[in-house]
Chain A
Amino acid sequence: MSPAESAVAVVYLAAAACFVVGLHLMNAPATARRGNTLSGAGMAAAVAATLVLAAVSGEASPIAWAVIAAGTSLGAAAGLYAALNVRMTAMPQLVSLFNAVGGGAAALIGGYEYLRLAEEGRPGAAVTALVALDAVIGAVAFSGSLVAAGKLHGLVAGHPVVFRGRGALDALLVLAAAGGCAALVAGAGGAWPLAAAVAAALALGVVGVLAIGGADMPVVVSLLNACTGIAVAMAGFVVGNAMMVIAGALVGASGAILTKLMADAMNRPLRAILVGGYGTGDEDAGGGPARQGVATVTADDAAIRLAYASRVIMVPGYGLAAAQAQHELRELAERLEAGGVRVDYAVHPVAGRMPGHMNVLLAEAKVPYPQMKEMEEVNPEFARADVALVVGANDVTNPAARRPGNAVSGMPILDVDKAETVIVIKRSLGHGYAGIDNELYTDPRTRMFLGDAKQALAELTAAVKALAA
């Protein structure tokens, strides 16, 4: 090992330590940002060390340097532009897109290394197997994440795309990918088995994710994130870089745990999500006639109940995120607080697009962090609240979850129905993701205020203002 190589190896080790400690600091809100900065610093040092080592070794031709510089700056500019300009509601699909390109890069590295080694004679079985795993897992993560991003962005239909023979097609694609890998390791047919395996993996990612409903996408993105991590670890083996192995395995394992946590919070077995075909897309847009026993309320009436309450708990849900009404909700809350009402926000673990997303959206609207209450903390408070204002949340408030024998049974819910009065702002009386009636809506204490969340909240704020005047 030359002195330069030794120095770079030490930098890599330090970077790997930064990744581990950085992720660990993400365990608490107070240290999370520092954790990300630390991890980023480690990453910058690792990339810089790689460039220095490449320059010292003098292996790369001027054209190779130009290719690296052009590709890296193009990708960096695109990534930075997208990250700084994306609306926070569209952030999940951007994370999915970044995951897609990461998986794609890992797959490309595998393919490139195989071709390079093949020039020098037949590559060994061990490295070929690693190349095959890298390329196949990376390709699934690439195409699957692109479809997931498309679903989250509304470019691809959110409902599960299932057709006859889907199971057979899935099995066929898995066999084709596995067969391609086996042929590659056996050394038959040169690089063609690798191309076939990658093509099958790309198709598998598309077909597999298409079959899953839009509301399950966060769990899918998390799982594909873990897949990319494993692909990157395999790429690390292939190019002989221990830091890539460490970082990839770290992401693979933590991504797998996170996927499990998310699926648990949504009360959905992971297997059922992956098999697909369950549920609709996102919240039902269909109008549907008003059902028996549902009481509606006008803006003025609702405003009176809110303005003369002493405690109001806001319950934001997916509908709020979809209508991008978080700013309107905060305005209404501030208007109420100015009138002496105590306002809190009840955030269900899976409210919004993905776990924790609602906190990000509310934080973006400058809702003070101490006002956001997690489920365990806020549930005893509902009994003391005069009004619970539910905005676009459905299944997470359904009291049917307390009884066994239905689609939401056992799911942890917000005890909204314990409040004195419940006002529900909702686009329609349609079903939520679980596809069952919400018993909250027919509760005698519930008043429905039908309309788009953004517009309805603006009307309520205006009505509250008029009362104070």
Chain B
Amino acid sequence: MTPDAIGDLTVFVLSLLVGFEVISRVPATLHTPLMSAANAVHGVVLVGAIAIGTTAHTPFGYALAFLACAFAAMNVVGGYAVTDRMLHMFRSPAGRR
């Protein structure tokens, strides 16, 4: 394995462990918003979609890049917006717990 590959693998494994730990104490109340928030975070795939878009130079390549950009943008924008809408409702006139 190349040093680069080892580095990537290290990042991947450590990130998995962080993911297991980071939401360990979430109350059931927040399960749905949390799922939605995590859903928005994987919208980071938009960065990859833009990256492949910059190298496209054939009609088929353009089509794939277009679809990937549209899908990813929908994921990321919609994901954050709907999570924010959900969490907005947790504010109550009577104050927070």
CB contacts (< 8 Å) of B40 on chain A: these are 36, 39-40, 43, 98
Contact A68 B53 (CB under 8 A): yes
CB contacts (< 8 Å) of B81 on chain A: these are 79-80, 83-84
Contact A23 B34 (CB under 8 A): yes
Contact B38 A363 (CB under 8 A): no
The answer to whether the Cβ of A182 comes within 8 Å of any Cβ in the partner chain is no
Contact A71 B37 (CB under 8 A): no
Contact with A along B18-44 (1 / 0, CB 8 A): 111011111111111111111111111
CB contacts (< 8 Å) of A86 on chain B: these are 82
Contact B97 A126 (CB under 8 A): no
Docked pose: A250 CA to B40 CA in angstroms: 12
Which A-chain residue is minimally distant from B36 (CB atoms)? A95
CB contacts (< 8 Å) of B33 on chain A: these are 26, 32, 36, 356, 360
CB contacts (< 8 Å) of A246 on chain B: these are 11, 15
CB contacts (< 8 Å) of B70 on chain A: these are 71-72, 74-75, 78, 101
CB distance from B47 to the nearest CB of A (A): 5
Contact A254 B23 (CB under 8 A): yes
Docked pose: A23 CA to B52 CA in angstroms: 28
Contact with B along A355-392 (1 / 0, CB 8 A): 11101100110111111101000000000000000000
Contact of A23 with B45 at beta-carbon distance under 8 Å, contacts A72-B50, A98-B78, A370-B94 already known: no
Contact with B along A333-370 (1 / 0, CB 8 A): 00000000000000101100011110110011011111
Contact of A105 with B37 at beta-carbon distance under 8 Å, contacts A75-B74, A86-B82, A99-B75 already known: no
CB contacts (< 8 Å) of B88 on chain A: these are 33
Task: Name which of A27, A73, A102, A257 has the most chain B CB atoms within 10 A of its CB.
Answer: A102
Q: Which of A102, A109, A355 contacts B75 (CB 8 A)?
A: A102
Task: Name which of B25, B53, B65, B68 has the most chain A CB atoms within 10 A of its CB.
Answer: B68
The answer to whether the Cβ of A24 comes within 8 Å of any Cβ in the partner chain is yes
Which A-chain residue is minimally distant from B26 (CB atoms)? A27
Contact of A26 with B32 at beta-carbon distance under 8 Å, contacts A102-B72, A126-B5 already known: no
Contact A257 B71 (CB under 8 A): no
Docked pose: A256 CA to B35 CA in angstroms: 10
Task: Name which of A23, A74, A262 has the most chain B CB atoms within 10 A of its CB.
Answer: A23
CB contacts (< 8 Å) of A84 on chain B: these are 81, 85
Docked pose: A371 CA to B93 CA in angstroms: 12
Docked pose: A369 CA to B29 CA in angstroms: 11
The answer to whether the Cβ of A63 comes within 8 Å of any Cβ in the partner chain is yes
CB distance from A328 to the nearest CB of B (A): 17
CB contacts (< 8 Å) of A35 on chain B: these are 37
CB contacts (< 8 Å) of A258 on chain B: these are 23, 26, 31, 34-35, 38
Contact A91 B30 (CB under 8 A): no
CB contacts (< 8 Å) of B82 on chain A: these are 82-83, 86, 91, 94-95, 98
CB distance from A253 to the nearest CB of B (A): 3
How big is the B interface, by class? 35 or more
Contact A225 B48 (CB under 8 A): no
CB contacts (< 8 Å) of A106 on chain B: these are 42, 45, 48
Docked pose: A106 CA to B51 CA in angstroms: 12
Interface residues in A185-212 (C-beta closer than 8 Å to B)? none
Docked pose: A106 CA to B29 CA in angstroms: 30
Contact of A241 with B31 at beta-carbon distance under 8 Å, contacts A78-B74, A370-B94 already known: no
Contact B47 A50 (CB under 8 A): yes
The answer to whether the Cβ of A228 comes within 8 Å of any Cβ in the partner chain is yes
Task: Name which of B40, B42, B83 has the most chain A CB atoms within 10 A of its CB.
Answer: B42
CB distance from B17 to the nearest CB of A (A): 7
Contact A265 B47 (CB under 8 A): no
Q: Which of B12, B32, B75 contacts A360 (CB 8 A)?
A: B32
Which A-chain residue is minimally distant from B13 (CB atoms)? A249
Which A-chain residue is minimally distant from B15 (CB atoms)? A249
Task: Name which of B29, B53, B67 has the most chain A CB atoms within 10 A of its CB.
Answer: B29
Closest 3 CB pairs of A and B: A253-B19, A79-B78, A71-B69
Q: A residues engaging B (CB < 8 A)?
A: 15, 19-20, 22-24, 26-30, 32-33, 35-37, 39-40, 43, 46-47, 50-51, 54, 57, 59-61, 63-64, 67-68, 70-76, 78-80, 82-84, 86, 88, 91-92, 94-95, 98-99, 101-102, 104-106, 108-109, 111-113, 115-116, 126, 221-222, 225, 228-229, 232-233, 235-239, 241-258, 261-262, 265, 347, 349-350, 354-357, 359-360, 363-364, 366-372, 374
The 29 sampled A-B contact pairs (Cβ below 8 Å) are A26-B30, A27-B23, A35-B37, A36-B40, A40-B40, A64-B57, A67-B56, A68-B49, A71-B66, A71-B73, A74-B73, A84-B85, A95-B82, A99-B42, A102-B71, A105-B45, A111-B64, A116-B61, A249-B15, A249-B16, A251-B41, A252-B19, A254-B19, A254-B23, A254-B38, A257-B19, A347-B29, A356-B33, A374-B29
Instruction: Other than A29-B96, A40-B40, give 17 A-B pairs with Cβ distance below 8 A.
Output: A36-B84, A68-B69, A78-B74, A78-B78, A91-B32, A98-B78, A99-B42, A115-B61, A116-B52, A126-B5, A229-B42, A237-B12, A241-B47, A252-B16, A254-B22, A257-B20, A258-B23
